[in-house]
Chain A
Amino acid sequence: MIRALAPEECRQAMTRLPHGRLAVMTDHGPYAVPMLFAVQPSTLAFYTLPGRLLSSLRRHPLGVMVEFDWIESSSHWVSVLATGEFEERSRHELEAPLLALFATSGALFARIAREQVRQPEATFCQIMLGQVSGRAADPEAARRL
């Protein structure tokens, strides 16, 4: 049975899943990359290095989408979608929560991120969350992440 997740369940899923995907419009179509996010009450914080993602986010800051999923089997899965607006923040504001995330995450992406986030060209960003929705394939799936 597929059911909708409550807002708090969506937030918990985003916190517990090792990484999500950030999707943004570009001049040539949609673009998406895997991303580690520090989940805060109304924002998702992340960093990125100069490149296609950052230039696209700056050019199309509205209507950014984030996706998280966990699929154990056909009857045990969770999927969360969130839309929001992109904005750049200072290293001073976001480096600490991101380093805390990378320090506790066992994901391979976290090890890579720990090295990259200290680079001078790292840009600190956040998604101001708007609509957040999620579905799960069984009543307990979101709680078992």
Chain B
Amino acid sequence: MEKLELEEMLALLAVERPGRLLTVDRQRDEPYLVPVSFVLLAGSIYFYTEPGRKLTALRDAPQRVGFEVDGHDGYVAWSILASGHFAEVRSPVERAAATAGLLTKYRGSAVAPIWARSDGSLASFVRNLTAAEMGTLRITRLSGRRWR
């Protein structure tokens, strides 16, 4: 097992999908882990989420959020864990930049998130986006391991 260097982790986070958002469900006093589509921009992980258990957990414990990504290529397996604090993205500029990043990352991908799919109309696309909340994890700690 080897530790991943920062540059390696950033490179993997740039292309890998999906990741798993790790939150604390304070009502049940347990961790809550769910897969999400995401993009890494300027040291923050951006994702869309709809109201529900995940968003409630994020709002209840915004300082105790993590993000897990793992994968392998048949020869090397790796795992990355980021931690930091959650914020809802309200700034139109930041939201637009993150949306553009998500669309670029998932363009043409079979695993494009549901919100990025539309019936081809601008109205449908905008309706999907405005129905969801954008969240971000401001990363304060990043660690990763690799196994050969």
Contact = CB atoms under 8 A, between A and B. Distances in A.
A33 to B, nearest CB: 6
Interface residues of B, number: 34
Interface of A: 21, 23-25, 28-34, 62-65, 67, 69, 71-74, 77, 79, 81, 83, 107-109, 112
B117 A74 contact: yes
A65 B70 contact: no
A68 B30 CA distance: 17
A30 B147 contact: no
Given A29-B64, A29-B65, A67-B20, A24 B70 contact: no
Nearest to A29: B64
A128 to B, nearest CB: 14
Interface string B17-30: 01010111000111
Given A21-B70, A72-B110, A108 B31 contact: no
Contacts, number: 99
B81 A33 contact: yes
A141 to B, nearest CB: 13
A36 B126 CA distance: 40
B6 to A, nearest CB: 19
B41 to A, nearest CB: 22
Contacts of A28: 64, 83
Given A29-B66, A69-B35, A77-B111, 14 more contacts: A23-B22, A23-B31, A25-B29, A31-B81, A32-B33, A33-B68, A63-B31, A71-B18, A73-B111, A74-B110, A81-B34, A108-B76, A108-B147, A109-B77
B30 A65 contact: yes
